[in-house]
């Protein structure tokens, strides 16, 4: 399985995932796929069976390519994707394959004329996402991390920071999540490349911060600590967080490069039909 997550931000939509595929052996590979058409683009974040998932994505591409560009509206594309998903899942079930590996998708659809939309597939349904959504075996950890932090109106780059934390937790605690991280930002008719991101340094800093925060929680709840001593404990925590912030902001740090890329004006590939995998 995996973890995929999608966020609604004021300046676009963010999709992200880990890269680990687990079968007879663990491998790293793409889980976010962009398909471009004249006037539109569709981005899929895949969890579940790889072969069936990629087949569904290619069948969607062929179906969307078959109708005129003026008919490539978000409602029409959504209906087309849903029809393909229903057929693929029916075939999957007919072969009595592993139910827990049924492919699921987060699907972002963007056109030049319409507001970008994010949808989540569940069984044969394809419902709109209005805040954020997690899928895959690590989704319970993602929801646990994201729920208290997510705020409506946040930016794509702010959502990416939350995503780093959620992916870090899933990869640390869920056997079926791992590898590098992948991100893509989507806005009206525009999107970034699917950006691979080596999370090791950032995830170490996230773990360090979480450890310090837990120590502060213990101090906060410890009635044996005198009120007069607590400001020193709080000051120590502040110093530690400032050091983490300094390391995060170092010039050339990988996570800063990622955030800068996600917040730049996005390219517009929707005038061509080039695929991005």
Q: Is the residue at 87 inside a domain?
A: yes
Query: Do 249 and 190 share a structural domain?
Result: no
More reliable by pLDDT, 122 or 221:
221
271 and 243 share one domain: no
Question: Quick one: 240 and 146 in the same domain?
Answer: no
pLDDT class of 175 with cuts at 50, 70, 90 = confident
63 and 133 assigned to the same domain: yes
260 domain-assigned? no
In a domain, 206, yes or no: yes
pLDDT of the residue at 266: 65
Mean pLDDT of the chain: 88
Question: CB neighbours of 260 closer than 8 A, spacing ≥ 6?
Answer: none
Query: 229 and 135: one domain?
Result: no
In 3-state terms, what secondary structure has residue 258? Answer: helix
DSSP character string of 119-136: EEEETTEEEEPSSEEEES
Are 241 and 212 in contact by the 8 Å Cβ rule? The answer is yes
* CATH, residue 51: 3.60.20.10
Please tell me the total number of residues recorded for the chain in this structure: 277
Domain-located, residue 259: no
Give kind and range of the element (H or E) at residue 144.
helix 139-146
Residue 102 lies in a domain: yes
Same domain as 269, residue 231: no
Question: Against a cut of 0.75, is the pTM above it?
Answer: yes
Q: Quote the number of domains for the chain.
A: 2
What would the pLDDT profile of 66-105 be if each residue is shown by its tens digit? 989 889 999 999 999 999 999 999 999 999 998 888 999 9
Same domain, 142 and 160: yes
Residues 140 and 219 in one domain: no
Q: Say yes or no: 8 and 53 in one domain.
A: yes
> DSSP letter at 170?
H
Domain that holds residue 213: 201-254
pLDDT in tens, 20-49: 877 656 777 889 999 999 889 999 999 988
Q: Are strands 12-17 and 275-276 parallel, antiparallel or unpaired?
A: unpaired
Buried b (16+ CB within 10 A) or exposed e, 90-106: eebeeeeeeeebbbbbb
Clarify whether residues 188 and 176 are in a common domain.
yes
């Amino acid at each position: 399985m995996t973890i995929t997550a999608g966020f609604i931000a004021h300046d676009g939509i963010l999709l992200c995932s880990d890269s680990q595929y687990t079968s007879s052996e663990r491998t790293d590979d793409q889980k976010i796929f962009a398909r471009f058409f004249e006037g539109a683009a569709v981005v899929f974040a895949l969890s579940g069976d790889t072969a069936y998932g990629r087949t569904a994505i290619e069948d969607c591409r062929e179906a969307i390519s078959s109708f005129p560009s003026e008919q490539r509206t978000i409602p029409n594309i959504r209906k087309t994707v849903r029809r393909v998903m229903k057929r693929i899942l029916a075939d999957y079930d007919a072969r009595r394959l592993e139910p827990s590996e049924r492919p699921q998708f987060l699907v972002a659809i963007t056109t030049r004329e319409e507001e970008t939309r994010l949808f989540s597939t569940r069984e044969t349904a394809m419902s709109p996402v209005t805040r954020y959504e997690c899928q895959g075996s690590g989704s319970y950890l993602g929801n646990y991390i994201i729920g208290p932090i997510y705020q409506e109106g946040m930016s794509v780059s702010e959502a990416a920071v939350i995503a780093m934390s959620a992916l870090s937790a899933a990869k640390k605690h869920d056997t079926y999540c791992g590898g590098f991280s992948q991100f893509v930002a989507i806005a009206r008719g525009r999107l970034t490349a699917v950006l691979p991101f080596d999370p090791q340094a950032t995830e170490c800093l996230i773990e360090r911060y979480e450890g310090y925060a837990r120590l502060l929680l213990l101090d906060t709840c410890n009635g044996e600590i005198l009120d007069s001593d607590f400001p020193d404990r709080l000051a120590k925590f502040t110093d530690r967080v400032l050091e983490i912030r300094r390391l995060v902001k170092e010039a050339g740090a990988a996570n800063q490069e990622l955030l800068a890329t996600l917040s730049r004006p996005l390219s517009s590939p929707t005038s061509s039909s080039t695929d991005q995998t």
